[in-house]
Copies of this chain bind each other. A is one copy, B any other.
Amino acid sequence: MANNRLRDLRARLRDRRLDALVTTCLPHVRYLSDFTGSNALCVVTAERALIVTDTRYKDQVREEAKGFASRIAKGQLFDELPASSILSKARRIGFEHALLPVAHLNRLEKLFPRKRFVGTDGIVQSLAAVKDATEIAHLRAAAAITDAVFGEILGLLRPGMTESEVAAELSYRQRRRGAEGDAFEVIVASGPHAAFPHARASDRQLGTGELVVLDFGCRVQGYHSDLTRTVAIGKPSAELRKMYRTVLEAQARALDECRVPMRARDLDAIARGHIRREGLGKYFSHSLGHGLGLQIHEDPKLSAKSSAVLVAGNVVTIEPGVYVPGVGGVRIEDDVALGTDGNELLTRSPKDLIIL
């Protein structure tokens, strides 16, 4: 696994005339090496691959990071690099400029005054955006737990329950079913509160005739699920029902027309166009979706401005929504693995409006 990833990374480095890549981004380190520790510096050159970590992970790094040499630092991780000699032949060394703090670059430049450090963007991200079968199996397993918990929660929701109580149940039940934890802080947003797409979960009580947005997910082997369903507590108004129908249709169209290769922005436009034609365009205030993997937000981005092209192996969320101030909100989200011979819907919870 890691060996294919190193091979692909090295091809990208050659394309950019880089002799090495340095990263301290933990999901990137994990992606390249399978090392799961919480403190790591990873360096890959054409011939060598090294992880520097601290004494807590002395045994673990050897066990997990096959094909990588390892060093245990007593102090700062970067200070181990000269003695490792891994960069001795490298001249142009890439670093991730959107992620690496200035102090770390300063340290590298001080340790290696004659080398050239080159800011790069998206190298590991572009590799990680294409999932292999093992990764898709983990994503599928995470999605299955989240689906099962959505099924359970329907039996619990009732007027008077607070958003926070619902969030606690969703989180708890995912762990009880074997999840490593939440994929992100659970969102439960009801009534007018649901009109804020960034709402979390508050002490607000669910009220009759309201829509409730439930947006949650979990982690399995580090891989994330991300599901949103919107359900009604008692019969909702005609306005809310129209919002629901519009989002559901937009999502169905995007799922139907999603294929590879395709420009991500074109997929965004399919969902957005439908919502606009229904007169709700200005209420769909975020992008259509995002890649999903060892991080909750990965490439490719599915937005109106995205330059990404969808390819086989991408796993993405498709999550249109409308948010009408003072009225309420609707979002419907699934996780989809894209393939040449059709897509696999990883999340399979029902989507017809559920009225509890």
- Indicate which residue in B38, B101, B197 contacts A98 across the interface (CB closer than 8 Å): B101
User: Does A238 belong to the interface (CB within 8 Å)?
Assistant: no
Stretch of A4-12, A164-172, A311-319 contacting B (4+ beta carbons < 8 Å): A164-172
Q: Which of A73-108 contact B (CB under 8 A)?
A: 95, 97-103, 105-106
Per-residue 0/1 for A154-190: is the Cβ within 8 Å of any B Cβ (1 yes, 0 no)? Answer: 0000000000110111011001101001000100000
User: Does A112 belong to the interface (CB within 8 Å)?
Assistant: no
Q: How many copies does the complex hold?
A: 2
* A185 to B218 Cα, complex, angstroms: 13
User: Least Cβ distance of A93 to chain B in Å?
Assistant: 13
- Indicate which residue in B95, B164, B172, B198 contacts A57 across the interface (CB closer than 8 Å): B198
The residue among A99, A102, A105 with the most chain B CB atoms within 10 A of its own CB is A102
- Indicate which residue in B37, B102, B164, B285 contacts A101 across the interface (CB closer than 8 Å): B102
- Residue of B with least CB distance to A54: B198
Sorting the interface of chain A by its residue count into under 10, 10 to 19, 20 to 34 or 35 or more gives 20 to 34
User: Does A56 belong to the interface (CB within 8 Å)?
Assistant: yes
User: Does A55 belong to the interface (CB within 8 Å)?
Assistant: yes
The residue among A38, A56, A99, A285 with the most chain B CB atoms within 10 A of its own CB is A56
Residues of B within 8 A of A165 (CB): 176
B175 touches A167 (CB 8 A): yes
- Residue of B with least CB distance to A100: B102
User: Least Cβ distance of A78 to chain B in Å?
Assistant: 12
User: Least Cβ distance of A12 to chain B in Å?
Assistant: 19
Residues of B within 8 A of A196 (CB): 56
User: Does A119 belong to the interface (CB within 8 Å)?
Assistant: yes
A164 touches B175 (CB 8 A): yes
Residues of B within 8 A of A99 (CB): 101
- Residue of B with least CB distance to A168: B175
User: Least Cβ distance of A134 to chain B in Å?
Assistant: 20
Residues of B within 8 A of A175 (CB): 164, 167-168, 171-172
The residue among A100, A171, A181 with the most chain B CB atoms within 10 A of its own CB is A181
- Indicate which residue in B100, B164, B176 contacts A168 across the interface (CB closer than 8 Å): B176
- Residue of B with least CB distance to A196: B56
B97 touches A106 (CB 8 A): yes
* A305 to B198 Cα, complex, angstroms: 41
Residues of B within 8 A of A95 (CB): 102
User: Least Cβ distance of A216 to chain B in Å?
Assistant: 12
* A262 to B97 Cα, complex, angstroms: 40
Residues of B within 8 A of A56 (CB): 196-198, 285
Additional A-B contacts beyond A97-B106, A100-B102, A168-B176 (7; CB < 8 A): A56-B285, A57-B198, A95-B102, A98-B101, A98-B103, A103-B119, A171-B175
Chain A to chain B contacts (Cβ below 8 Å), 22 pairs: A37-B198, A57-B198, A97-B101, A97-B103, A98-B102, A98-B103, A99-B101, A100-B102, A101-B101, A102-B105, A102-B119, A103-B121, A164-B175, A164-B178, A167-B175, A168-B175, A168-B176, A169-B172, A171-B171, A171-B175, A172-B172, A181-B185
